[in-house]
Amino acid sequence: MTSVAERDGKAGQMTRRTPLAARRDLDWIGIPLVAAVGLAAFWLLPDDLALLTRIAASALFVLSLDLVLGYGGIATLGQAAMFGTGAYAAGIVAVNWNNDPFAMLAAGGLAGGLIALVTGALILHARGLTLLMLTIAVGQIVQEVANKARDWTGGSDGLSGIDPAPVLGMFRFDMFGRTSYLFALAVLVVGLLVARRIVRSPFGLACRGVKEDPLRISAIGGSPKSYLVVLYGVAGVFAGVAGALTAVTSGIVGLDSAGFPWSAEALVMLVLGGTGRLYGAVIGTAAFMGIHHILAASDPFHWMGFIGLFLIGIVLFLPGGIASGVERLGGLLRGKEDRA
């Protein structure tokens, strides 16, 4: 028979394990839950499919930011450079050569990854505010290049006339947005699966090590900058695919897709959801854009003030983001089950 002290010790161990166990459980159920909630929204909110499609594409973009910031510790306000590059690449390919949706996604991912690798190799030697300013500068350069290359990008008028072919030759993009939303949801779920595989790989663990202690990585023979440049390139692929997905589902690409405000907004959504969790990007994007949609419709003059108050509340009471609150709740529930 076990003594009271032994039972108390085991109970204490289970209680201490609950936050980590809750996070592990959420890691496993997070992606299926995103798919299930997304499919439920398709049936429950048929009049809001355009908004839901924007949320899905934006969540993939915020996910790319989570890879560089949450797992690599790279402070950036220029992630929209890769998003906009991917969007323009997909649009140009569709208008001039191949309008297959998957070809457009491939073009966007390749373009976003390339510009991320090139710029990352140049700027990732910097740290802190210097790096932050350099990432903003990259975004401004991409936006200005898109503005000047009118023959290819449409300049300030934007690139229009993007008419993607049916998905797999069967599912046509209709005016109700059904195909667009399901396609965007599928791409988001696949993106989450790939991202989870990356962050759990030896490469992903090495990037976390660089974030926590770059000197230790150097001491064991690793190259912190090389890891970060590759991670930045991988995140650029995700951002480029997100931009291409936006081009596929909206049919137009504007200069704002590469602008600083979009990068800053993505950072707000990531902080709102929680960094370093993957699914926090989805939670933050859905919460921010959903509240934005509701408040802007009910009070078009003061909605930004309400969103500001909401963000202040989250930062004060849930500094780890909404996802940390979900994990904390899961830990409490698991602790009750263990004690029972």
Q: What is the pLDDT of residue 284?
A: 92
Question: Which residue stretches of the chain are H helix?
Answer: 4-44, 49-66, 80-96, 101-123, 128-148, 150-153, 178-200, 202-212, 214-219, 224-250, 260-273, 279-298, 303-317, 322-339
- Return per-residue pLDDT of the chain as tens, 340 residues: 445 444 444 444 444 444 445 555 556 677 888 899 999 999 999 889 999 999 999 999 999 999 999 899 898 999 999 999 999 999 999 998 989 999 999 999 999 999 999 999 999 988 888 999 999 999 999 999 999 999 898 888 889 888 898 888 888 888 888 899 999 999 999 999 999 999 999 999 999 988 888 888 888 877 888 999 999 999 999 999 999 999 999 988 999 999 999 999 999 999 998 888 888 899 999 999 998 888 888 877 777 788 888 888 888 888 778 877 776 766 665 565 555 5
Tokens 């934006």 correspond to 58
Q: What is the pLDDT of residue 241?
A: 97
Q: What is the pLDDT of residue 279?
A: 87
Q: What is the pLDDT of residue 335?
A: 60
Any domain includes 307: yes
Any domain includes 7: no
Q: What is the pLDDT of residue 27?
A: 60
Q: What is the pLDDT of residue 23?
A: 53
Domain of 213, CATH number, reads 1.10.3470
Give dist(CA 149, CA 85) in Å, integer. Answer: 13
Q: What is the pLDDT of residue 300?
A: 74
Q: What is the pLDDT of residue 143?
A: 93
Give dist(CA 48, CA 57) in Å, integer. Answer: 15
Give dist(CA 230, CA 198) in Å, integer. Answer: 12
Closest CA to 62 of 185, 191, 228, 198: 191
- For Cα atoms 279, 287, 58, give the angle at the middle one, nearest 5 degrees: 65
Any domain includes 19: no
Report pLDDT digits (tens) over 7-29.
444 444 444 444 445 555 556 67
CA distances from 122 to 125, 146, 179, 208 (A): 7, 21, 40, 21
Closest CA to 242 of 276, 204, 194: 194
pTM: 0.88
Any domain includes 16: no
Residue 99 structural domain = 27-338
Q: What is the pLDDT of residue 240?
A: 96
Report pLDDT digits (tens) over 98-111.
899 999 999 999 99
Tokens 């510790």 correspond to 73
For residue 141, count other CB atoms closer than 10 A to its CB. 15
Any domain includes 114: yes
The number of folded domains in the chain is 1
Q: What is the pLDDT of residue 340?
A: 54
- Cβ-based neighbours of 326, under 8 Å, separated by 6 or more: 26, 283
- For Cα atoms 27, 30, 31, give the angle at the middle one, nearest 5 degrees: 110
Any domain includes 251: yes
Give dist(CA 103, CA 238) in Å, integer. Answer: 15
Any domain includes 10: no
Q: What is the pLDDT of residue 309?
A: 87
Tokens 């904390």 correspond to 328
Any domain includes 253: yes
DSSP per position, 26-89: HHHHHHHHHHHHHHHHHHH-GGGHHHHHHHHHHHHHHHHHHIIIIIT----S-THHHHHHHHHH
The answer to whether 112 touches 237, Cβ cutoff 8 Å, is: yes
Q: What is the pLDDT of residue 329?
A: 67
For residue 231, count other CB atoms closer than 10 A to its CB. 27
What single-letter amino acid sits at 278? L
